[in-house]
Amino acid sequence: MCVVCGCNSSGQQESAQVAPDAGGAVVDARTGDLHFGAGAARVSVPGMSESRAIRIEQDVLGANNQVAQHNRAHFHAHGVRALNLVSSPGSGKTTLLCATIRALQQNHPEVALAVIEGDQQTSNDADRIRATGAPAIQVNTGKGCHLDAPMVAQAFARLAPHDHAHGHEHEHEHEHEHEHEHEHEHEHEHEHEHEHEHEHEHEHEHEHGHGHHHPTQSLLFIENVGNLVCPALWDLGEDAKVVILSVTEGEDKPLKYPDMFAAAQLMVLTKTDLLPHLSFDVQRCMDYARRVNPGIRILQLSATTGEGMNAWLDWLVHPDAIEPTSVQARIAQLEAELARLKAGQG
Amino acid sequence: MHELSLAGGVLKVVEDAAVREPFARVLKLHLEVGKLAGVELRALRFALEAIAPGTLLEGAELEIDEPQGRAWCMGCSTEVEIAQRGDPCPSCGAHWLAPQGGDELRVVDLQVA
């Protein structure tokens, strides 16, 4: 066996072996000579064997995900619902965001708003947001093609959307509730999470029944770098990814960029006022999106005419209020069944 | 090109391991990148080669496993293999699939010296 990597190749080193009692030295099988520093590292370090395997089993995005979990806990502790808005460049994210902020300021003045704007360069978008009166921080990624969790953590520290919520009597209750949920998420394996979500939704309905009128105290919009590929992989600590697709783009984008549509909870089809001038097939686009993500929710709107905006605003403020479609209900049912089966096997 | 960021993530995992269990360099890097992970393997290999010089990864051999995409077909009530997101169920042809695996993106182990 090769002493360098443990492979089965029979090279010159076949005659050399690391002797268990030779302190990591290579032993010449013929003469019994000891060769320190003759191994792969070409250096002898006391206490270190020459070549060894180290079990790692670590997620490449682990460092990012840890910060993202921290962000999530931080957001929840402050009653902030964070949304990661992703799309290709030119889909109208910023236009939609400006229209959304103005509408929320009018119809839901109790909800605090803040925006983190991600672009490679310029502060044009943050300037447009600030013109609405909402606080915004521009994050320029330089050559980066996506925002990551540490960027969002730093940007959030410079915003103060949570100040609005400070001083509320029930704030502490909320903190405890959310911290508790987090512990649960850590302890449960992936397959159990769906069940957990159901419990969560159920709790939510329950809360509504008891007359809690502050489902969302504060909204943080994170406008990611315009890119339908890379941002799909980076968790920022958001409650949901929202993928925005304008009807001036191809209706097959969900198939071309499936990872992003699979990662999103909601797809918003924008610029629907232009549909009469285009050959965009809305139904086909929705079918494609559901191919890669059967549970995705879909809204259609025009930020210019305001058509469809109310459903979007409702989703922002009452995220669980949209009736699940029959497909979603069926998925939920089957996923619960699957989780039960898996639990039975384990 | 998020693969360059991912290569940086791989290096971070390796450097953290070197702090825990000191070693001079990596001889072999063993990764697992699922078919549904959203990673272009050629780009990842290129990125790892690009960042390796001067790091623990310099000269390291690269082994990448590619676990198949696995999804639960809600029509067939069974688990099926898919090559990419958006593919139909190979047995019923429908798209009611909930991915169950194949999105791994992990450093499995290292051979070090």
Q: Are strands A52-59 and B105-112 parallel, antiparallel or unpaired?
A: antiparallel
pLDDT value at position B44?
96
The predicted-structure confidence for A288-330, as pLDDT tens digits, reads as follows 999 999 999 999 999 999 999 999 999 999 877 655 555 666 6
Q: Quick one: DSSP state of residue A63?
A: H
Is residue B47 within 8 Å of residue B9, measured between CB atoms? no
**Distance from C-alpha of B87 to C-alpha of B79, rounded to nearest angstrom:** 14
Distance from CA of A4 to the nearest CA of B (A): 8
Contact (CB<8Å) A50/B105: no
Read off the amino acid at residue A326: S
Would you state the pLDDT for residue A322?
54
pLDDT tops 50 at residue A168: no
Mean pLDDT for A104-125 is: 93
Q: Which residues of A261-332 form beta strands (DSSP E)?
A: 266-270, 297-300
Q: Are A117 and A138 in contact (CB under 8 A)?
A: yes
Nearest-by-CA chain A residue for B95: A291
Band (pLDDT 50/70/90 cuts) for residue B98 is: confident
A238 vs A193, higher pLDDT? A238
Give tens-digit pLDDT for A226-257. 999 999 999 999 999 999 999 999 999 999 99
Among B85, B96, B110, beta carbon nearest to A53: B110
Do B61 and B28 meet the contact criterion of CB atoms below 8 Å apart? yes
Question: Which of B1, B3, B4, B5 should be substituted to probe chain A, the one whose Cβ sees the most A Cβ atoms within 10 Å?
Answer: B5
- Positive or negative, the CA dihedral A139, A142, A143, A149 is negative
Query: B-contacting residues of A 56-75, CB under 8 Å?
Result: 56-64
Q: Taking residues B95-100, report their average pLDDT.
A: 89
Paired sense of beta strands A112-119 and A266-270, if any = unpaired
Tell which A residues from 213 to 272 touch B, by Cβ distance under 8 Å: 229-230, 232-234, 254-255, 258-259, 262
Across the interface, do B27 and A4 touch by the CB < 8 Å criterion?
A: yes
Judging contacts by C-beta atoms under 8 Å, the chain A residues touching residue B13 are 56, 58, 60, 62-63
Rg (CA), chain B: 17
pTM to 2 decimal places: 0.74
| Cβ within 8 Å, pair B98-A331 | yes
DSSP string, B8-73: HHHHHHHHHHHHHS--S-EEEEEEEE-TTS---HHHHHHHHHHH-TTSTTTT-EEEEE-PPEEEEE
pLDDT digits (tens, 9 = 90+) for B41-88: 999 999 999 999 999 999 999 999 999 999 999 889 999 999 999 899
Q: How confident is the model at residue A38 (pLDDT cuts 50, 70, 90)?
A: low
The interface predicted TM-score of the complex, written ipTM, equals 0.89
- What is the sign, positive or negative, of the torsion defined by CA atoms of A67, A71, A77, A83? negative
pLDDT of A5 strictly over 80: no
Long-range (24+ apart) CB contacts under 8 A made by A98-103 are A98/A128, A98/A129, A98/A131, A98/A132, A98/A303, A99/A303, A99/A304, A99/A306, A99/A309, A100/A221, A100/A303, A100/A309, A100/A312, A100/A313, A100/A316, A101/A129, A101/A132, A101/A133, A101/A134, A102/A132, A103/A306, A103/A309, A103/A313
- pLDDT tens per residue across span A119-151: 989 999 999 999 999 999 999 988 889 999 999
